[in-house]
Amino acid sequence: MATLSELLGKELSVNQVVQDLKETLSQLGARLKNYEVTSLDQERYYEYLDKK
């Protein structure tokens, strides 16, 4: 197995990958919005996971 950094031949950071993904999706026509996750969002998410 190889890491993405090894396969692409460059160092990657999470922030850079997220930024590159956003740019690519925008170029493909996606409309993206920044959204701040609230404590209520987190609570609902964990409640959802508990139900599974």
Amino acid 22: pLDDT = 94
Amino acid 34: pLDDT = 86
User: Domain spans of the chain?
Assistant: 14-51
Q: How many whole angstroms separate alpha carbon 21 and alpha carbon 42?
A: 24
Q: What are the tens digits of pLDDT across the range 2-52?
A: 998 999 999 999 999 999 999 999 999 999 888 899 999 999 999 999 987
- Name residues whose C-beta falls within 8 Å of residue 26's C-beta, 6 or more positions apart in sequence: 32
**Statement: the pTM of the whole predicted model exceeds 0.75:** no
Q: How many whole angstroms separate alpha carbon 16 and alpha carbon 31?
A: 19
Amino acid 45: pLDDT = 95
